[in-house]
């Protein structure tokens, strides 16, 4: 088989800034009546009628949040949207619009950005989101993605972090720890690849972990489920920085304490087996791993019967008065204070 | 005099991501009733009642949009807000909220970011803006600022780029070309400084130019003026990439042509004298310089009497049918086709 040495590489400078924006955004469709004006003016315009607007923004930086040696650009585009949608869902709102800004060095050909935008567009289609604007510029080094998402909600539906009350149940959607382990697997294979580039990694054992890392989904389904079950959480946050960090945020905002039970934390079987393989403590990974994009929320005791049979939702503890502190009760029945060990991109460790 | 060798430099890693956000945002006050929730949840919440929401976003990248060897961080913070507000005013909307995200390398101490945020806060106070969220992370290299601004307007007040009609007058606020020349002055002084660090630059002759470059103001006053004069532009755009580029955008969006007169383009006397000093053509600088943040708009002929006496507004030409093209009529009465030569951060030139 003859290798294609003429793989297309279009320098970004061929298009210019506006040409690039036009090119990258040509496939974005406007889906919402509330999107009065999308890309193509000084600013986008969104009509809200009597709804409230929720706004969130995230920066993803190459070498800090992602490594292109194992994160395919299309997945990266998809994930960069999910990270933002997850924040909107965590307000119990419906994401409807995003702006996408990128800074990119000249080493990226147009085809790389097309892959990135294909992932963004796939996410936008699947989650019914309008891409309404953004900015595209060059960077001195690497790729940076800045997305701002707007969500809509009725005032009475919004759920903040500050509504948890003593005796509320602490509930977690899905399972946690897998995304962090997926990253460990990818980094290990990447090291192996560096030593022996002919080595084809077999990741089939780790499919779930790798997918959770590379292509996470925001829990739109959980928001719909809670609505169908007629359960309105008293407080909610998305699990992006690890359970420890998020339960602390939630308790601090709500001025309460919490007790979480180690044996209740939902772990996928692959997480347990891979932790054994990597000689890692699965609870540490679950508490501090991050990037799970699950929803952590509190509900009133009386709503327990509505959610108890649901496989997507696990009660992992309960809210206590503030002076009780924030504790994990281990399998050995020891109380350990929960401290933030979430992912911290600014630490030098 | 003994040099202070203990100048405070707090490594960012001392604070951690959340500590840094708390620290940097502690002085932001909420000013608008429509800001339901600011910083401190998964997303901010803005209530719009029967208004429409305008959204715009800009990325500013070190080494591309600014050079910290001559741009003080406080000015940079101020300017990064102005760049966004200018886009909101260009929609004839009132900016009310911004999100501020930064990516920053470890070479920046906390004090540097405090300066940056002091500038952002000064702009927010002066322009009556709530800072409602953002993201803070590390970068592999340099500083990057991503700001998203939200503006509010009544539906009937919004002005788009696509409303210019044949025979409308083309109007420009203020004067142009100064910001680009200010950059040339600063770059020249920076080169001199590199050769002789003891040389104290005398910039007093260039105060206006340097201020236009380092601390531009968004034209809130022009929006108010037009409102007071009861003039609603038929189309509007802000002049960020140079007059050539903006008139082309406006004509393309409106499906019209335009004729601009060289002798009508408003230039500050310092622009003319400094162009002579630098041996630059002042019209080229005015057309292609960029970063002026003035407003370019079109009005109906019948509104001419309302604006004609105003020193802030200059009629520089008129709209023509599309097939007439987009032309500059020179002082020598020659017609030259206007081509986009605006600033292009993605070009390799």
Domain residues of chain A, as ranges? 12-157, 161-337
Distance CA A214, CA A146 (A): 18
Cβ contacts of A98 on chain B, cutoff 8 Å: none
Q: What are the tokens at A278?
A: 């990597």
Q: Cβ of A47 and B53 within 8 Å? A: yes
pLDDT, position A191: 86
Q: Which region among A32-36, A291-295, A334-338 has the lowest average model confidence (pLDDT)? A: A32-36
Can you give chain B as a three-state secondary structure string? CCCCCCCCCCCHHHCHHHHHHHHHHCCCCCCCCCEEECCCCCCEEEECCCCEEEEEEEEEEECCCECCCCCCHHHHHHHHHHHHHHHHHCCCCEEEEEEEEEEECCCCCHHHHHHHHHHHHHHHHHCCCEEEECCEEECCCCEEEEEEEEEEECHHHCCCHHHCCCCCEEEEECCCCHHHHHHHHHHHHHHHHHHCCCCCCCCHHHHHHHHHHHCCCCCHHHHHHHHHCCCCCCEEEEECCCHHHHHHHHHHHHCCEEEEEHHHCCCCHHHHHHHHHHCCCHHHHHHHCCCCCEEEEEECHHHHHHHCCCCCEEEEEEEECHHHCEEEECCCCCEEECCCCCCCCCCCC
Identify the weakest region by mean pLDDT among A24-33, B251-260, B320-329.
Answer: A24-33
Q: Is it the case that residue B2 has pLDDT exceeding 70?
A: no
Confidence of residue A7 (pLDDT cuts 50, 70, 90): low
Token pair 């929960």 in the structure block, residue: A338
Measured between beta carbons, the chain A residues lying within 8 angstroms of B253 are: 40-41
Q: Give the pLDDT of residue A108.
A: 84
pLDDT of res. A40: 60
Q: Is A330 helix (H, G, I), strand (E, B) or coil?
A: coil
Mean pLDDT, rounded, of chain B: 87
Quick one: closest CA in A to B99, which residue? Answer: A57
User: How distant is the Cα of B281 from the closest Cα of chain A, in angstroms?
Assistant: 24
- Homologous superfamily in CATH for domain B161-337: PurM-like C-terminal domain (3.90.650.10)
Tens-digit pLDDT profile for residues A258-303: 999 999 999 999 999 999 999 999 999 999 998 999 999 999 999 9
Q: How confident is the model at residue A325 (pLDDT cuts 50, 70, 90)?
A: very high
CB contact under 8 A, A47 and B45: no
Whether residues B43 and A88 touch (CB distance < 8 A) is answered with yes
Q: Would you place residue A343 in the very low, low, confident or very high pLDDT band (cuts 50, 70, 90)? A: very low
Q: pLDDT category, A28, cuts 50, 70, 90?
A: low
Contacts of A37 in chain B (CB under 8 A): 158, 160
Q: What is the pLDDT of residue B136?
A: 83
For chain A, the residue count is 349
Q: Count interface pairs A-B at CB distance under 8 A.
A: 243
Higher pLDDT, A320 or B160: A320
Residue of B nearest to A133 (CA): B56
Q: Which one of B16, B46, B158 has the shortest CB-CB distance to A45?
A: B158
- Are residues A54 and B62, on separate chains, in Cβ contact within 8 Å? no
Name every residue whose Cβ is closer than 8 Å to that of residue B171 and which is 6 or more positions away in sequence.
Answer: B233, B296, B297, B298, B299, B307, B313, B314, B315, B316
Q: Is A135–B253 a contact, with Cβ atoms under 8 angstroms apart?
A: no
For residues B259 and A25, which has the higher predicted lDDT (pLDDT)?
B259
Instruction: Judge whether B41 and A160 are in contact, CB under 8 Å.
Output: yes
Mind telling me how many Å the CA of A155 is from chain B's nearest CA?
A: 9
Question: What pLDDT does B110 receive?
Answer: 82
The 10 Å Cβ neighbour count of residue B1 is: 3
Please count the other Cβ atoms lying within 10 Å of the Cβ belonging to residue B325: 14
Give per-residue pLDDT as tens, B37-53: 666 666 667 767 667 78
Task: Output the pLDDT for position B177.
Answer: 96
Question: What's the predicted TM-score (pTM) here?
Answer: 0.88
pLDDT in tens, B290-334: 899 999 999 999 999 999 989 999 999 999 999 999 999 999 999
Residues of chain B positioned with their CB less than 8 A from the CB of A148: 55, 57, 99, 148
Residue A87 has pLDDT above 50, yes or no: yes
Pick the CATH number of B12-157 from 3.30.1330.80, 3.30.1330.10, 1.10.3720.10, 3.40.50.2300: 3.30.1330.10
Higher pLDDT, A51 or A221: A221
- For an interface test with A, which of B44, B48, B55, B105 has the most A Cβ atoms less than 10 Å from its Cβ? B55
B11: chain A residues, CB-CB within 8 Å? 348
């Amino acid at each position: 088989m003859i290798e294609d040495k003429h793989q297309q590489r279009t320098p970004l400078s061929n298009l210019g800034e506006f040409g690039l924006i036009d090119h990258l955004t040509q496939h974005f469709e406007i889906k919402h009546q509330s999107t009065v004006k999308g890309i193509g003016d000084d600013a986008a315009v969104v009509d809200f009628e009597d709804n409230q607007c929720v706004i969130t923004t995230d920066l993803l930086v190459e070498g800090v949040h992602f490594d292109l040696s194992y994160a395919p650009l299309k997945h990266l585009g998809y994930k960069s949207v999910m990270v933002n949608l997850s924040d909107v869902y965590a307000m119990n709102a419906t994401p409807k619009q995003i702006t996408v800004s990128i800074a990119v060095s000249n080493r990226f050909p147009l085809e790389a950005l097309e892959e990135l935008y294909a992932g963004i567009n796939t996410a936008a289609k699947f989650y019914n989101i309008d891409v309404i604007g953004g900015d595209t510029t060059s960077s001195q080094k690497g790729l940076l993605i800045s997305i701002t998402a707007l969500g809509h909600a009725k005032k009475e539906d919004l759920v903040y972090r500050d509504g948890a009350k003593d005796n509320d149940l602490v509930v977690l959607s899905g399972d946690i720890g897998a995304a962090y382990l997926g990253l460990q697997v990818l980094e290990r294979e990447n090291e192996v690849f560096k030593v022996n580039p002919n080595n084809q990694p077999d990741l089939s054992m780790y499919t779930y972990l790798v997918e959770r890392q590379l292509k996470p989904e925001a829990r739109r389904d959980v928001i719909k489920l809670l609505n169908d079950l007629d359960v309105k959480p008293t407080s909610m946050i998305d699990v992006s920085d690890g359970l420890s960090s998020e339960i602390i945020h939630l308790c601090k905002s709500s001025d309460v304490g919490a007790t979480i039970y180690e044996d209740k934390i939902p772990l996928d079987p692959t997480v347990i087996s891979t932790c054994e393989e990597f000689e890692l403590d699965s609870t540490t990974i679950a508490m501090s791993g991050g990037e799970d994009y699950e929803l952590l929320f509190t509900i009133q005791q009386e709503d327990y019967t509505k959610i108890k049979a649901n496989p997507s939702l696990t009660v992992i503890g309960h809210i206590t008065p503030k002076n009780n502190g924030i504790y994990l009760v281990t399998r050995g029945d020891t109380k350990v204070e929960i401290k933030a060990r979430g992912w911290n991109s600014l630490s030098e460790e």
